[in-house]
């Protein structure tokens, strides 16, 4: 179960698991904004939404692009293969790493095993494949899961 955490200004901040949310309540850094009806954890209601007691500046989110990560590619592509649209499980490099392709937002896409094997160590053009969408740098909100 995930819990949405709001900044003190009520803007979405991040999502955390229930265990982390309870620790935030125990430490007094957050308060419950919305709880599951009739469920408690000790003397705390089981939260759905928490709000931080103090405002946390989010300059990191606005001043620079999110760093590349495998998890980020999965979230950006919404778990779908960039070639066929089915469930994707692997990261594919549009320009293969063996040819100098880097781990960047504009060179990686989520792929299913079948498409990844079909493409192999070639570019999509060489393999006769087409990307279903344009590769892009995701927004912070997509990566945080808000």
Q: What is the DSSP string of 32-43?
A: EEEEEEEEEETT
What is the value of pTM for the model shown? 0.63
Q: Please state, in angstroms and rounded to a whole number, the distance separating the CA atoms of residues 132 and 134.
A: 7
Tens digit of pLDDT for each residue in 40-62?
A: 888 889 999 999 999 988 765 55
Instruction: Round to whole Å and give the CA distance between 123 and 121.
Output: 7
CA–CA distance from 102 to each of 47, 68, 85, 134, 138 (Å)?
Answer: 41, 10, 23, 17, 17
Name 49's bridge partners.
4, 34
Which of the four pLDDT bands, split at 50, 70 and 90, describes residue 100?
Answer: very high
Q: Name the residue with higher pLDDT: 100 or 11.
A: 100
């Amino acid at each position: 179960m995930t819990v949405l955490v709001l900044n003190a200004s009520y803007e979405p901040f991040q999502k955390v698991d229930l265990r982390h949310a309870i620790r935030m309540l125990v430490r007094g850094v957050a308060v419950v904004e919305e709880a599951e009806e009739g469920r408690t954890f000790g003397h705390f209601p089981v939260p759905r939404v928490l709000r931080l007691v103090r405002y946390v500046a989010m300059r990191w989110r606005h001043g620079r692009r999110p760093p590349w990560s495998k998890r980020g590619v999965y979230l950006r592509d919404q778990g779908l293969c960039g070639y066929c649209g089915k469930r994707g499980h692997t990261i594919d490099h549009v320009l293969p790493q063996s040819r100098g392709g880097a781990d960047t937002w504009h060179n990686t896409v989520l792929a299913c095993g079948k498409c990844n094997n079909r493409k192999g160590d070639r570019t999509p053009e060489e393999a006769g494949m087409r990307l279903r969408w344009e590769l892009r740098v995701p927004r912070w909100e997509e990566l945080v899961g808000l």
